[in-house]
Amino acid sequence: MKEEPDDLLQDMSDDQLSEYKDMLKQLGAYPDKVLINTLSMIAEDYSISFPKSCTSIHFAIRDLLLSNEVKPDCKLPLVYVIDSILKNVKGLYIEIMKEDIQEWMGGVYQLLEGNELARTKLRKVWNTWNEFKIFPDKEWNSMGKCFTDEDDKATAAKKIADAKTKAAGIDRSLDGSLLLSSSLRKQMQAVLDDVQADETDELKKVSLERLADINPDLLVEIKKAAEGIMEQERSSGIGDDSRPIVMDGIEDTVPQLFAEIRSPQDIERCNEWEKLDLNYLQSSNESMKKLLHVVRTGTATMSQTTNHCVDATKLLGSASAAASTLTQMMERFKTQDKNKGFIPFTAGPINSSLPGALPTFYRNTMISTQAIDPAKFTNEGLKEKNESVIARLYDAGLPFVCSADGRRFATQREHSRHLDELFRKNQLEKAMERTDERDWYTSENTWCRRAVTDDEGDQMGTFANDDVAKADDNIDPRTCVVFADESRDKCVICGSKFEMDFDQDEGEFKYRNCREIEVLNDDVAEKESESMLVHVTCLRGLGSPELLTIDQVLQL
């Protein structure tokens, strides 16, 4: 009998190739990771011994990339399919695809004109091919000729822009910022804001530094306009930030904010008031008595004319209110002086319940009314007992004590606010969901009456963490375990949660069918790579690569 070949897989038929093209079209503008992985797995079946099928798959993707019927937004997902095949499948595809990547890469780059984000992602894919060493440097550089040409154009344009700005008298620092005076920069920014006033999208507005790169001619015109405005303001005296003054016969320039604007007569009168030495506690009482006497006298002798009554009533009402306020303030000053600074004076409404006396909790607990003497801040002075300081720290200064945590407060309002906060915190803790630890329990193998062999027991200890990456595809995925981590409880490929068992020997929870793998981040990320957890079976579906890129995992 004729022996059947071991490999029953045959070259792709026309119907199979048509179905593969339909799957490619299903991607649309969204790079579905599951669909890309499926397309890569189909390509993997033919990657070793079927060059005809590999070529057909490649041309199916390339024709869509170069087709004018496919929208530009749908090009990038097709590039991701090629990227996945090159990194995860390899095989015959590397030799087949490198022949014409330069052709479609430039075409796709031109079709993405105006979409800088898509062009950046395309460049990132091209850069990763060099990181993974998929192609030799010479061939890799030729594939990205569209990117290098664009960089050369940008460099040449920047040199021209720098030359124009420098010729206009605008230099740049090492960090790229323009070296302008503060007044000139402020005026140029105002002119630029007027130019961009019609632009409603704030993200499309540019700064002076950005304008120097993209349109240096406009920057030069803005500088000329700003200098003209500043020259007009200086000649007319408007907007001048400083004025010349003469002191002791020497002319100087000071900022207008600090310049003296009072007349010499006002300055002389103010100086005379400063020389007066009045005892407000003694003279103010007499002044307020006279003010109140005027109010009473004026009220009694008020004319009966309507208009005059209205005006006099307003005037006397204002005087009466001023006298009452001053009286209360003087009572407060007396209390302040009597207690020698024990109660600090605070601005605001005067509490009429404190007429010349201390509050209740101060009266009951005050032992010493002497102010703190800074001269006693010495080694010997600190050893002396100061009753007033102790009183301020306890019943005299902080009389309200919280029974829950022992904190002290100066007022009942602060104490009540603290109790309300504690109540809200306790209610929040009661409402939070809690997961209690499960008690000791037997493993799944015991429940299923399945005995664990010595080889499997060794594998459970061997294929943990980093060593599991080297496990053979024939190893049972359930024996690949990683210590449980609540912050990483889902597979970054499929998004499903890991199954968790309790290890009786080590006393730790572990994830089954799980391993750690390094995922390469974007160029803009702070870290070059990051360790993530995946299902072993999901990783085998991608061809068991040693590394993954950020585009191949879910953003959980």
CB contact at 8 A, 471 and 463? yes
* Same domain assignment for residues 452 and 512: yes
pLDDT tier, 496 (very low <50, low <70, confident <90, very high otherwise): confident
Entry pTM: 0.39
What is the pLDDT at residue 372?
Answer: 65
What is the pLDDT at residue 367?
Answer: 39
* Same domain assignment for residues 391 and 351: no
* Same domain assignment for residues 423 and 488: no
Quote the Cα angle for 323-328-333, to 5°.
Answer: 120
Strands (E), 303-425: 400-401, 408-409
pLDDT tier, 303 (very low <50, low <70, confident <90, very high otherwise): low
Hey, what are 483's tokens?
């210590």
What is the percentage of the chain residues whose pLDDT exceeds 70?
68
What is the spatial distance between Cα 146 and Cα 320, in angstroms, rounded to a whole number?
Answer: 86
> How much of the chain is helix, strand and coil, in % rounded to 5?
55, 10, 35
Query: Residue 219 domain-assigned?
Result: yes
Whether the per-residue pLDDT at 356 is higher than 60: the answer is: no
Query: For residue 459, how many other CB atoms are within 10 A of its CB?
Result: 20
pLDDT, average across residues 377-402: 78
529 vs 295, higher pLDDT: 529
385 φ, ψ (degrees, to nearest 5): -80, 125
What is the percentage of the chain residues whose pLDDT exceeds 90?
14
* Same domain assignment for residues 122 and 96: yes
* Same domain assignment for residues 454 and 546: yes
472 vs 60, higher pLDDT: 60
* Same domain assignment for residues 139 and 157: no
Query: Residue 258 domain-assigned?
Result: no
Q: Which of 66, 165, 58, 79 is nearest to 126 (CA)?
A: 79
CA 111, distance to chain mean position in Å, is: 34
> CATH number, domain at 27?
1.25.40.90
Residue 545 domain boundaries:
444-552
* Same domain assignment for residues 337 and 319: yes
Query: Residue 265 domain-assigned?
Result: no
Whether the per-residue pLDDT at 1 is higher than 90: the answer is: no
Pairing state between β 408-409 and 500-503: unpaired
Render the burial of 467-496: b for 16+ CB within 10 Å, e for the rest.
ebbebeeebebbbbbbebeeebebbbbbee
Distance spanning both ends of the chain, measured CA to CA:
56
Least-confidence region, from 77-86, 225-234, 393-402: 393-402
Pairing state between β 408-409 and 482-483: unpaired
What is the spatial distance between Cα 254 and Cα 493, in angstroms, rounded to a whole number?
Answer: 67
Whether the per-residue pLDDT at 535 is higher than 70: the answer is: yes
Query: Residue 252 domain-assigned?
Result: no
Hey, what are 552's tokens?
């191949």
pLDDT tier, 54 (very low <50, low <70, confident <90, very high otherwise): very high
Q: What is the pLDDT of residues 304-315, one digit of tens each?
A: 555 566 666 666
In sequence order, the β-bridge partners of residue 171 are 179
* Same domain assignment for residues 101 and 161: no
* Same domain assignment for residues 19 and 122: yes
What is the pLDDT at residue 103?
Answer: 84
* Same domain assignment for residues 476 and 546: yes
Q: What is the pLDDT of residues 98-129, one digit of tens each?
A: 888 888 898 899 888 888 888 999 999 999 99
What is the pLDDT at residue 181?
Answer: 85
CB contact at 8 A, 333 and 303? no
What is the spatial distance between Cα 355 and Cα 335, in angstroms, rounded to a whole number?
Answer: 8
What is the spatial distance between Cα 20 and Cα 30, in angstroms, rounded to a whole number?
Answer: 17
Query: Residue 369 domain-assigned?
Result: no
Hey, what are 13's tokens?
């038929």
Least-confidence region, from 210-224, 337-351, 399-413, 430-444: 337-351
Question: Listing from the earlier edge strand, what are the strands of the sheet with 547-549?
Answer: 529-535, 514-520, 547-549
pLDDT tier, 56 (very low <50, low <70, confident <90, very high otherwise): very high
CB contact at 8 A, 60 and 74? no
Whether the per-residue pLDDT at 320 is higher than 80: the answer is: no
What is the pLDDT at residue 304?
Answer: 53
CA 80, distance to chain mean position in Å, is: 30
Any residues with CB less than 8 A from the CB of 384 and at least 6 apart, and which? 376
What is the pLDDT at residue 281?
Answer: 58
pLDDT, average across residues 68-80: 91
Query: Residue 88 domain-assigned?
Result: yes
CB contact at 8 A, 61 and 106? no
Number of compact structural domains in the chain? 5
What is the spatial distance between Cα 499 and Cα 512, in angstroms, rounded to a whole number?
Answer: 6
Hey, what are 486's tokens?
């609540």
Whether the per-residue pLDDT at 461 is higher than 80: the answer is: no
Query: Residue 32 domain-assigned?
Result: yes
What is the spatial distance between Cα 193 and Cα 207, in angstroms, rounded to a whole number?
Answer: 9
What is the pLDDT at residue 43?
Answer: 92
Boundary-marking domain end, from 406, 431, 456: 431
What is the pLDDT at residue 477?
Answer: 82
pLDDT tier, 8 (very low <50, low <70, confident <90, very high otherwise): low
Query: Residue 249 domain-assigned?
Result: no
* Same domain assignment for residues 137 and 23: yes
Whether the per-residue pLDDT at 20 is higher than 90: the answer is: yes
Whether the per-residue pLDDT at 437 is higher than 60: the answer is: no
Q: Which alpha helices (H) appear in 206-305, and where do they start and end?
A: 208-214, 216-236, 264-275, 280-300
Render the burial of 55-73: b for 16+ CB within 10 Å, e for the rest.
ebbbebbbebbeeeebebe
CB contact at 8 A, 546 and 525? no
509 vs 320, higher pLDDT: 509
* Same domain assignment for residues 139 and 52: yes
**Average pLDDT over all residues of the chain:** 75
